[in-house]
């Protein structure tokens, strides 16, 4: 396993999307430098990845170009390889998709050749065993798998009709099937499981996304067809915003998005060959793999969605999102066929150095560190107790110097890490307290004198003590005072 750092220049995506261009400037050394991610060696040409619902274990299939295809299992804490299931020579065994059932108990693997699906008990794979899979045979050409959120079914897309619905309760039960006008490359399911969406892999204008309605008992029927682009490939459903995103691998390569059923389609050219897709459950982020390199990330948190291609990974065929309980993307997995690696991007953690208290006139220095994957960091301040935050101009390092002015006392500061892959992450707020400088005591001369008495002794420091006698007396007083202080320290 390698830990890598890469630079980025965001590429233009155009048209309806607002492009998020991100530049990395010079900054002090970070706890983790910008764009830190894991690169895990994973067979020969890994092509798809999925994780258990709790993100504890990750499963990767490799098509084995020039060698043997296999399935590999990893612990997601250390990315230790727990098991390897070898399918056989890549010329005879061509795996295309891996899917973990929503309850985490089954691992499904589809094959274009031979035309079959293997279902493994996940616990046996995690334990490092060699379990005998349940073998499902079909017409051939399986290319993608997806599970409905309710956990009842796994759907399979095939280049040749029909398309399939299998029961997770009994994978050996006869599947339901439906024939569509054209073969499919990708499949996804709506958040409530009522609709499956299959891409129709044909040239425009016939290329698009075919909805298949799913009745309460699982019965399938043809729904609305939505033309999208040329040779549609991957597809994903973004539940929280009720949107279907599909990738078009023809000319030009593009992304399409629409609200089903039959909503207006926005199709935008992209500068890569997009493949499979995924999205965060809360609808904030969408992701598409780029066969020609990199990952396209789409941010739906703004009024107009913004998109950027992060150029990390070669021959990226698939992406998979792991999210926290709120549906926020926590980790992004991608398979890089060009480097034979599983790429792991983790949402950043930002840790602040704590509050600062300084005397008036002394500058305060705040510190914070950003770990894991981020592309830009910036400091923010709040003068209203954290209700509103504003960027501190030019502050994009791990340290922030603030003038020790009374006017700044009570201000909160935090460091925020941002990236195309994840929502912004902020450190805990840090409070600045500026203590006022001591106020001088007013001096009032005593009667009949033009000077003030010494505060410690009441002795007039004016003309009454002069010449050598005055010097001797003053020295004696200082010696006595010093001895008294030393005694006090010893007694304590």
Give, rounded to a whole angstrom, the gap between the first and last alpha carbons of the chain: 58
Q: Quote the CA–CA distance of 267 and 282 in Å, as a whole number.
A: 23
- Provide the CB-side half-sphere exposure for 378 (13 A, CA): 17
Given this model, what pLDDT does residue 455 score? 53
Q: Quote the CA–CA distance of 358 and 435 in Å, as a whole number.
A: 6
Q: Quote the CA–CA distance of 226 and 223 in Å, as a whole number.
A: 10
Given this model, what pLDDT does residue 448 score? 67
Given this model, what pLDDT does residue 446 score? 67
Alpha-carbon Rg of the chain, whole angstroms?
Answer: 33
Residue 46: in which H helix or E strand, if any? Answer: strand 46-51
pLDDT tens profile 267-326: 888 889 999 999 998 888 999 999 999 999 998 888 888 889 999 999 999 999 999 988
Given this model, what pLDDT does residue 5 score? 65
pLDDT tens profile 392-420: 999 999 999 999 999 999 999 999 999 99
Exposed, middle or buried: residue 99 (CB in 10 Å: 0-12, 13-18, 19+)?
buried
Q: Quote the CA–CA distance of 444 and 160 in Å, as a whole number.
A: 103
Nearest to residue 383, comparing CAs of 358, 370, 402? 402
What 8-state DSSP symbol labels residue 454?
Answer: P
What percent of the chain has pLDDT above 90?
A: 73
pLDDT tens profile 142-173: 999 999 999 999 999 999 899 999 999 999 99
Residue 477: in which H helix or E strand, if any? Answer: helix 467-491
Nearest to residue 72, comparing CAs of 323, 80, 168? 80
pLDDT tens profile 355-394: 999 999 999 999 999 999 999 999 999 999 999 999 999 9
What mean pLDDT is predicted for residues 115-125?
A: 97
Please answer whether residues 182 and 231 qualify as being in contact, where contact means their C-beta atoms are separated by less than 8 angstroms: no
Please answer whether residues 307 and 429 qualify as being in contact, where contact means their C-beta atoms are separated by less than 8 angstroms: no
Angle formed at CA 445 by CA 439 and CA 448, multiple of 5 degrees: 175
* DSSP output for 192-258: TSSEEEEEE-S-TTT-EEEEEEE-TT--EEEEEEEE-SSSEEEEEEEGGGTEEEEEE-SSS-EEEEE
Over 80: is that where the pLDDT of 476 sits?
Answer: no
Over 90: is that where the pLDDT of 31 sits?
Answer: no
* DSSP output for 324-365: -TTS-EEEEEEEETTTTEEEEEE--EEEE---EEEETTS-EE
SS3 at position 191 = coil
């Amino acid at each position: 396993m390698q830990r890598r750092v890469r630079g980025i220049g965001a590429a233009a995506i155009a048209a309806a999307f607002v492009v998020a261009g991100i530049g990395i400037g010079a900054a002090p050394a970070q706890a983790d430098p910008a764009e830190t991610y894991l690169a895990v060696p994973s067979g020969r040409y890994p092509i798809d990845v999925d994780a258990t619902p709790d993100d504890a274990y990750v499963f990767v299939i490799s098509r084995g170009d020039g060698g043997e295809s296999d399935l590999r299992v990893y612990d997601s804490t250390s990315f230790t390889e727990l098991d390897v299931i070898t399918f056989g020579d890549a010329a005879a065994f061509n795996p295309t998709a891996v899917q973990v059932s929503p309850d985490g108990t089954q691992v499904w693997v589809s094959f274009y050749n031979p035309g079959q699906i293997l279902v493994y008990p996940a616990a046996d794979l995690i334990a490092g065993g060699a379990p005998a899979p349940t073998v499902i045979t079909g017409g051939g050409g399986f290319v993608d798998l997806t599970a409905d959120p309710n956990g009842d079914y796994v759907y399979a897309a095939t280049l040749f009709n029909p398309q399939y619905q299998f029961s997770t309760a009994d994978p050996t039960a006869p599947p339901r099937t439906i024939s569509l006008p054209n073969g499919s490359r990708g499949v996804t399911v709506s958040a409530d499981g009522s609709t499956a969406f299959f891409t129709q892999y044909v040239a425009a204008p016939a290329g698009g996304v075919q909805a298949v309605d799913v009745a309460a008992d699982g019965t399938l029927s043809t729904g609305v067809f939505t033309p999208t682009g040329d040779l549609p490939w991957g597809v994903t459903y973004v539940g929280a915003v009720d949107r279907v995103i599909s990738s078009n691998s023809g000319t030009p390569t593009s992304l399409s998005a629409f609200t089903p059923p039959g909503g207006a389609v926005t199709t935008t050219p992209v500068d890569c060959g997009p493949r499979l897709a995924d999205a965060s459950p809360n609808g904030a982020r969408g992701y598409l793999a780029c066969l020609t390199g990199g990952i396209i990330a789409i941010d739906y948190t703004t009024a107009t969605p913004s998109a950027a291609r992060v150029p990390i990974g070669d021959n990226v065929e698939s992406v998979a999102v792991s999210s926290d309980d709120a549906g926020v993307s926590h980790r992004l997995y991608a398979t890089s066929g060009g480097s034979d690696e599983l790429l792991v991007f983790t949402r950043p953690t930002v840790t602040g150095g704590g509050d600062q208290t300084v005397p008036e006139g002394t500058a305060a220095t705040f510190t914070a560190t950003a770990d894991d994957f981020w592309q830009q960091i910036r400091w923010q301040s709040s003068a209203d107790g954290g209700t509103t935050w504003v960027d501190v101009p030019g502050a994009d390092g791990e340290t922030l110097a603030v003038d020790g002015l009374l006017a700044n006392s009570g201000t909160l500061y935090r460091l925020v890490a941002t990236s195309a892959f994840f929502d912004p992450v902020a450190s805990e707020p840090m409070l600045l307290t500026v203590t006022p400088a001591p106020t001088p005591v007013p001096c009032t001369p005593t009667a009949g004198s033009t000077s003030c008495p010494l505060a410690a002794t009441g002795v007039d420091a004016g003309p009454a003590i002069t010449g050598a006698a005055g010097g001797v007396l003053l020295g004696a007083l200082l010696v006595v005072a010093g001895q008294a202080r030393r005694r006090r320290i010893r007694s304590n």
